[in-house]
Structure 1
């Protein structure tokens, strides 16, 4: 009899939602576990730096309630990674409290493992001094001051932390920052299935049902792994997988679609083969995994000030015909005006980031056709300063300058910018930046990830 393991990923990220009916129809006692990623850096550094959840409490609680009642009904483990969006200790505890509420409201009792991912700073400083922290490309400059003064630093755990938590008797694993694939590779690898197949499947399953032909709404995926292959089948009866849709997932969020690093090794998809089993199911063979020294990625965020913003649109064809010259003059005019208000000492104490949508707002300097421009452009201006008051004041001044900045063809007072909302400039609050894009070499996989247990 062919050895196999089956598991379910209900959605690409906890809190985005999924069909409860489809999920419950997919529940089966032969599932080994259910896993769900809960985090990302897509939203920038504020989630980690400012202790902010990725989705609302109501959205996360809705999804968690369905998942927890589901896994308890068939008595299989639930693994949640990168809790609360960034996986920081605050975010992890935020999810822990929601889980405790659900257990009480549903009358459930189970054992929870909480795996932290914010390493002690002294340990990171020792690693740095030993030369065991290395930069990824690109990476900001790193020194001891960065390690000491970052608001939060997390280490992305690998599969071993999940395995250890389950060996400790956990029914539900709540993990801090984690590689997305580790959530789904942990149990198959621990049970001796080929690491190449387990990690490749996990890389796809981390996104729930995203590898379907057409994802009209977030749904789940079921994976079955054997010693020779793995298969993928959507949870939703209205969705299908194809060899192309599954293979194309290797292009998502990867620098190299054939080789991808995980703690302890490298996925190698150069020999992977994809074939249709049915019109909904795809079989994958040939994936490999090469062991490498055990490193985990570090992510760090630091507060850099406060932001305010202005958003408006320019449609005057006379301005658009000479946009570059007009825009350069506008920026100089704004800088002159800011210094006129705050004095020369403001130099170096603020900045304004400009994005021109309809020209190069998405790619910026990498835009291959910078000369192209349409009937209108959207102008986004974001000021950054050390206080909210100053950032807000600069945004207001910038809004007024762009509104009336002239061109030679027009005489008198002009109104160049159409504002879509009132008030037309507003405060954005605290601003953060990523200060780490590095890996740290570990002496053992659990070195930075302590586990504790609670009965809820």
Structure 2
């Protein structure tokens, strides 16, 4: 690559204030950590987690105000400490090479990593420097938006392939429909930008593989003995201190040639060997092999050592296996507009109607279709179908002598125009308010409508159309680098704000919330009882969670408190592809991964999503609330004598 590299004679200290730029972080922790000394600040700024709207409609993950707040603090640190800042999918830095200060890096600017997102961040940074009177800064940007013509050509040559078993083959129409296409860059464009402009202050990167800014910076600074070290560090650090217990925001990595340390910076959080090992379960198809541009990161032989400070874990042993020559791929992502949508929400309290709600809503759909001449999709979303406790009805406060059941209804409609979608929603709401039903007694109206406007237009809707890998000849050729020398008056103070300088975080708001169940009681107590000789999986595991592993897959993590418990459940032989398929009503062929991950005392399963994330009929875009079937899984454990006396 012809890279300019700096000989490293010490450890690198890399600071991540938050897993996603725009989500907010502690100023106290930020300024204290900067004062203690770091080489770089690195943050992520994007994801496909929140669906296809960013790519399809040109909107950002966060608000401009949120980006302004976080970037304001980060650029202030760049001005004061002249330290590099790396923000995942955007990259900020200062004259570290000349003045021995850290740089700032960031990538996937704006959430989707498009040119629009990159330019948004550059504009905000330019405004901050001018408004605050900061010193002049050299700002680099790396574009990741890909020309459709290139994708069409590569597709015609058979060089574009689905990214995973759950993704369908790419069609020519998918390319035509895409609003824009971005490619997920590896380390090479980042390293090229640093090498060609070693006096940079800030780098704003387009769509990037999450650890790319971290790994590229480490290589640039001389961590060259083993690419697996910076890659593995980056895969953990890009989420901040999500790997801590309890999870928190700010994290520090200390990197050397043969190992790295991960440290939680919140006073109330700590990293443990299990919590750090478990992080490679999060949002991944499988935890042992992580695929990215240029190769696979293998974690089967990784070790995790808890250090005496009881906050830091030292990690060793990963290996990086590069792809064969001519097989380097980048992942393409794109979304398309798929119409317009509108909605309304409200509730039913009549028990007679609730008892026949499925039939009532089916007749509502038929009513709307009979009255409208155009095509539309309608999705009824029922919340609290079994009845929930209601408060505040008729301005009365609990307790009441009688509390009626209430269910919530969200009606979601999609059509080819906004007017058509809103009109269809309007007709559906009229049916909810006045439609008849068997044994009806209340004739003044069925539907409680809490908000106005009653029929709510939502604008354009979208779905994913490209999530594929494309073979490229040169890992950097499709990611142009731009240089902007931004003028600054250099009149701002060069000391941190007095009100936060030297202070630490007041603690995590989650402290005290992550406690186990009461002795002898199930965490699901009151819901139902398991069969004799069985225990709910929720009462054996410490963590049971679901999450997207990209927009086409849903992944589940079950983590146990120790190896003994994990091995007992493993020996029970109940966590199998067949069990997962039955729990989630699918074919075993759609169970993509089903395995145990011993370093984290954990079980992992990944399935094909029944509906692609963010699609019209989707009800959980992030995929984070699909864990209940696993929690209620009954595990045969023998004699149960209270939860703390489970004999297995």
TM-score (norm 2): 0.63
Matched, 1:34 2:41: yes
Which residue of the other structure, out of 382, 387, 391, is the alignment partner of 2:421?
391
Which residue of the other structure, out of 133, 136, 144, is the alignment partner of 1:109?
136
Matched, 1:248 2:278: yes
The residue that corresponds to 1:319 in the other structure is: 353
Q: CA RMSD in A?
A: 2.3
Which residue of the other structure, out of 316, 330, 340, is the alignment partner of 2:364?
330
Q: In 2, distance between residues paired with 1:189 and 1:375?
A: 61
What displacement does 1:2 show?
8.2
Larger-Rg structure = 2
Q: Match of 1:27, SS?
A: helix
The residue that corresponds to 2:176 in the other structure is: 148
User: Given the superposition, is the C-alpha separation of residues 414 and 333 from structure 1 closer, same or farther in structure 2, using an over 3 Å criterion?
Assistant: farther
The residue that corresponds to 1:305 in the other structure is: 339
Would you say the 8 A contact 2:331–2:470 is kept in 1? yes
What displacement does 1:28 show?
5.3
What displacement does 1:30 show?
5.4
* 1:370-385 alignment, distance < 5 Å: 375-385=405-415
Would you say the 8 A contact 1:140–1:436 is kept in 2? no
User: Given the superposition, is the C-alpha separation of residues 29 and 115 from structure 1 closer, same or farther in structure 2, using an over 3 Å criterion?
Assistant: farther
Would you say the 8 A contact 1:268–1:289 is kept in 2? yes
The residue that corresponds to 1:82 in the other structure is: 108
What displacement does 1:108 show?
1.8
What are the Cα deviations for residues 202-239 of structure 1, in whole angstroms up to 9, with x where unaligned? Answer: 11100112111123xx5311101223321111222332
Matched, 1:443 2:485: no
What are the Cα deviations for residues 174-203 of structure 1, in whole angstroms up to 9, with x where unaligned? Answer: 011112221222222453042222212111
**How many equivalent residue pairs?**
433
Q: Match of 1:180, SS?
A: coil
Q: In 2, distance between residues paired with 1:407 and 1:401?
A: 11
TM-score (norm 1): 0.89
What are the Cα deviations for residues 317-371 of structure 1, in whole angstroms up to 9, with x where unaligned? Answer: 33343443333333333322xxx2x32xx1xx321233223369xxxxxxxxxxx
What displacement does 1:53 show?
2.0
User: Given the superposition, is the C-alpha separation of residues 323 and 265 from structure 1 closer, same or farther in structure 2, using an over 3 Å criterion?
Assistant: same
The residue that corresponds to 1:131 in the other structure is: 158
The residue that corresponds to 2:237 in the other structure is: 205
User: Given the superposition, is the C-alpha separation of residues 377 and 295 from structure 1 closer, same or farther in structure 2, using an over 3 Å criterion?
Assistant: farther
The residue that corresponds to 1:357 in the other structure is: 383
What are the Cα deviations for residues 58-98 of structure 1, in whole angstroms up to 9, with x where unaligned? Answer: 21112112112213414322111011111111121111101
Segment of structure 1 superposing worse, 135-144 or 247-256: 135-144
The residue that corresponds to 1:364 in the other structure is: none
Which residue of the other structure, out of 317, 329, 332, is the alignment partner of 1:286?
317
What displacement does 1:295 show?
1.2
The residue that corresponds to 1:166 in the other structure is: 194
What displacement does 1:413 show?
2.8
User: Given the superposition, is the C-alpha separation of residues 274 and 359 from structure 1 closer, same or farther in structure 2, using an over 3 Å criterion?
Assistant: farther
Would you say the 8 A contact 2:160–2:170 is kept in 1? no
Q: In 1, distance between residues paired with 2:9 and 2:476?
A: 33
Matched, 1:237 2:244: no
Q: In 2, distance between residues paired with 1:173 and 1:414?
A: 62
More relative contact order in 1 or in 2 (CA 8 Å, sep 6+)? 1
Would you say the 8 A contact 2:42–2:106 is kept in 1? yes
What displacement does 1:29 show?
7.9
The residue that corresponds to 1:405 in the other structure is: 435
* 1:414-433 alignment, distance < 5 Å: 415-433=445-463
Which residue of the other structure, out of 143, 157, 162, is the alignment partner of 2:185?
157
Unaligned runs of 5+ in 2: 1-7, 83-100, 387-403, 487-648
Whichever structure has more helix as a proportion of its residues is 1
Q: In 2, distance between residues paired with 1:101 and 1:248?
A: 40
* 1:189-204 alignment, distance < 5 Å: 189-190=219-220, 191=222, 192-204=224-236
Q: Match of 2:240, SS?
A: coil
What displacement does 1:31 show?
2.8
Q: In 2, distance between residues paired with 1:253 and 1:350?
A: 34
What are the Cα deviations for residues 120-140 of structure 1, in whole angstroms up to 9, with x where unaligned? Answer: 222111111111110123335
Would you say the 8 A contact 1:302–1:432 is kept in 2? yes
Unaligned runs of 5+ in 1: 361-373
Q: In 1, distance between residues paired with 2:123 and 2:178?
A: 26
Q: In 2, distance between residues paired with 1:212 and 1:69?
A: 27
